[in-house]
Amino acid sequence: MLRATLAAAPFAAFVVDWEGKVRSGWNERAADLFGCSAQDASGLDVNDLCRARTRDGESADLSPALDGSTTGPLALEVRNASGQSVPAAATVAPFRNHLGQVAGGVVIIEDRSHRTILEAQLRQAQKLEAVGQLAGGIAHDFNNLLTIVQTNTELLQDQLATLGAGEVVAEHLSDIGEAVARGSELVRRLMAFGRSEPERVRTLDLGELISGYATTLRRVLPDDVKVEVAVGPDVPPVRVDPGAVQQVLLNLVTNARDAMTGGGSLRLTVTSAPAEHKRPGVLLSVADTGTGIEADHLEHVFEPFFTTKDADRGTGLGLSMVQELVRQMDGSVEVSSELGRGTEFVLRFPPAQDLGDGASGLEARPTRSQGGHAAGTVLIVEDDASVRKVIRRALASAGYEVIVTADGEQALEAFNRHPEAVDLVVSDLIMPNMDGASLHRALQSREGPDVPFLFISGYGDRDPRVEELLERGVPILHKPWSMAALCEAVQDALLVSSVSKEVDSSAFPGP
C-alpha cells in the first residue's frame, strides 16, 4: 500500500531507514529530480543525496526528523540532477516498528521551482504596477510644466524673430524646445512602463539609427572613454520605435559611463543573429570595459528599484525600463559580465516582416500656416493658472477671441452668458468641482452635439477617462503641445463642426 501511494505521489518521495539511508519507495519524481534510479539511490544518505541548504545558506540536516516526530515542510534548497540549487519543501514523517521504535521515515520533497518563478513574476508585476501608478500620478503635473515652458518658448521665438534677435538667443531657445521634447518623451515612456502601450514603430535600418545617434551618446561620456560603432553586413531591417531604442541606448550608455570612472572603451555593434541562433533577428550589443557586475547581482539587474549605486546616483529604474521597452518591441535583452573586465548587454529585435509600411506613425503632420487672423471664440477651461495663461496667449496670438474659466462649473456659467458666441470649448480633463468629461456631458445633454469640444490632457491614451472620450469621438490633444499643434487642433475641431452643420442643414432644409 505504501509503495503504491509513493509511486502515485506528485512529489519526489522515498523511504529511509532509521539511519537516514534510502531503502525503498523511490518514485519517478525522485528519479527526475535527482537524476538517478532507485538502484543507484539505494543506500545513499538522505543528506548526501539532497545536499540541502536553508534559504540562509546553512547546511540543512534532515536526520533529526527521525527522532520520532514529523518534521516539515522545511523550506530549503536541494541539488538537482544538473547540480543546480532548486527551491524545495521537505517533509520527513517517521514510522515505528512493532516495538514502538523509530524504524525509518518517509521523505517527501516538493520541487518549488515553478512556484518560485510565479511568485517572482507576481512581485515583478506588483513593482511595475507601483511604478506605473507613480508615473501616472506625476505625469499630469509634469506635462503641465512642460506645456508652460514649451508655449512661452515659442512665443519668445516669435517675438524675437520679429525684433531680429541674435543667433545665440535663438539657439538657446531652440535648446529649450529640444529639452521639452525629450522631457515629453520621457513622460510618455514612464506612463508606458509596466503597461503595453502602443509604440510609435516604424521599419528602419538599426545600424543607421545607432550610427546616427552615436554623436549624441558621445556627449554623455567623458573624453577618456572611447566609443566604437560597428555594423555587420546584410543586417535586415527591424520594426522598432526609434525613440524607445534611443532611450534604451541612453540608459545603457549612462550605466557604462558610471562603470568606467577611470576611462575605457564602449563598443556598439549591430549584426544579424547567427545561424545557430534559435530565432532570426538583429542583435544590438552594448559592451563596456568597466568594473563589471557581481554574479549575485546579475539576476536582479532588471528588477525595478534594484541598484548598486549610491542613493544620489541611481534609482534602480534604468535597466527595468530598458527591459520593458525592448519587450514592448517584441525583443529581448540579455546581460553578461565579468568583474574587472566589463559588461555586455545584447538586445535582440525580430526582423521586419512588412517592408512597405515605411515610417508609419512617425512623420509629423504638416501644420497649417498661422499667418493671418483666425475667426472664432474659444471657451478655455483649465484649472492650472499658468497653463490657462499660455493657452490664452497662444490662441489670442493666432487671432481667436478667448473666454477663460478655471473649472467646469465656471465654464457652464460662462456658456450660459454667451451661448451663441462660443464656437469651441477647449477643456482640461481632470479638474476640481466639475471635470472636463462632466462638462462635456452636461453641454451635450442641453445643447446637443452642436457644441464642439477639444480636450487637452496630460494622461496617456490608456487612461480610462481618455479612452471613454476617444470612443465617443471627442478629439484630444496631449500635453505638452506646441503652439502649432494647439492651433491646428483648434482649427480641425472648428472645421469638423462647420462641416457637420452644413451636412445637417442640407439634409433638413428649411421651408
Residue 55 pLDDT: 62
Do 219 and 337 fall into the same domain?
A: yes
Q: Write the DSSP symbol of residue 67.
A: G
Domain shared by 311 and 439, yes or no: no
Residue 366 domain flag: no
Check whether residue 95 and residue 139 sit in a common domain: no
Domain that holds residue 182: 117-192
359 within domain boundaries: no
Q: What are phi and psi of 403, to 5 degrees?
A: -120, 125
Q: Binning pLDDT at 50, 70 and 90, where does residue 363 land?
A: very low
**Which tens digit of pLDDT belongs to each residue from 212-271?**
888 778 877 888 999 999 999 989 999 998 888 888 898 899 889 989 988 999 999 999
Question: What's the rounded Cα separation, in Å, for the pair 210 and 328?
Answer: 19
pTM > 0.85: no
Q: How many domains does the chain have?
A: 4
**CATH code, domain carrying 453:** 3.40.50.2300
Assess if residue 356 is contained within a domain. no
417 alpha-carbon distance from chain centroid: 46
- 434-437: long-range pairs with CB below 8 Å, 24+: 434/407, 434/408, 434/409, 435/408, 436/381, 436/408, 437/465, 437/468, 437/469
208 and 331 within one domain:
yes
pLDDT score at 334:
93
pLDDT the model gives residue 346: 95
**Which grid cell is 202?**
516604424
Residue 225 sits in the same domain as residue 320: yes
Give 356 or 374, the one with higher predicted confidence. Answer: 374
Most confident of 254-268, 274-288, 443-457: 254-268
For residue 115, the model assigns a pLDDT of: 74
At 369 the pLDDT is 35
- The pLDDT tens digits of the residues spanning 162-174 come to 776 667 777 777 7
Number of residues that make up the chain: 511
**Band of pLDDT at residue 296, cut at 50, 70 and 90:** confident
| pLDDT tens string 456-465 | 887 765 667 7
Q: How confident is the model at residue 285 (pLDDT cuts 50, 70, 90)?
A: very high
Q: What is the pLDDT of residues 421-437, one digit of tens each?
A: 899 999 998 888 898 98
Q: Which of 61, 78, 111 is the last residue of a domain?
A: 111
More confident residue, 372 or 230: 230
In the prediction, which pLDDT does 126 show?
65
Cβ 346 vs Cβ 188: under 8 Å? no
**68 falls within a domain:** yes
Please give the average per-residue pLDDT across 442-451, as a whole number.
78
Whether 17 is in a domain gets the answer yes
**Together in a domain, 62 and 136:** no
* pLDDT computed for residue 233 by the predictor: 92
Most confident of 63-77, 271-285, 333-347: 333-347
Instruction: Give the residue from 128, 91, 131 showing the smallest Cα distance to 112.
Output: 91
The CATH number for 306's domain is 3.30.565.10
Q: Which of 331, 349, 367 is the last residue of a domain?
A: 349
* Residue 368 pLDDT exceeds 80: no
Structural domain contains residue 358: no
In this structure, the answer to whether residues 227 and 89 fall within a common structural domain is no
Q: Which residues pair with 478 in a beta bridge?
A: 457
DSSP letters spanning 212-259: HHHHHHHTTS-TTEEEEEEE-TTPPPEEE-HHHHHHHHHHHHHHHHHH
Average pLDDT over every residue of 451-471: 77
Judge whether 251 lies within some domain. yes
Which of 80-94, 374-388, 397-411 has the least mean pLDDT? 80-94
Shared domain check, 328 and 419:
no
DSSP 448: G
More confident residue, 283 or 82: 283
How many CB atoms within 10 Å of residue 433?
A: 12
Top pLDDT among 442 and 468 is at 442
For residue 365, what pLDDT is reported?
33
> Quick one: 390 and 285 in the same domain?
no
For residue 317, being part of any structural domain is answered with yes
User: What local confidence, expressed as pLDDT, does residue 210 receive?
Assistant: 93
Residues 249 and 381 in one domain: no
Q: DSSP letter at 278?
A: S
Say if residue 360's pLDDT is above 90.
no
342 and 231 housed in the same domain: yes
CATH of residue 27: 3.30.450.20
pLDDT greater than 50 at residue 312: no
Question: Which of 88-92, 188-192, 388-392 ranks highest by mean pLDDT?
Answer: 388-392
- At which of 78, 111, 144 does a domain end? 111
Same domain, 178 and 243: no
Mean pLDDT over the full length of the chain: 79
How much is the average pLDDT of 177-204? 69
Mean pLDDT across 311-316: 50
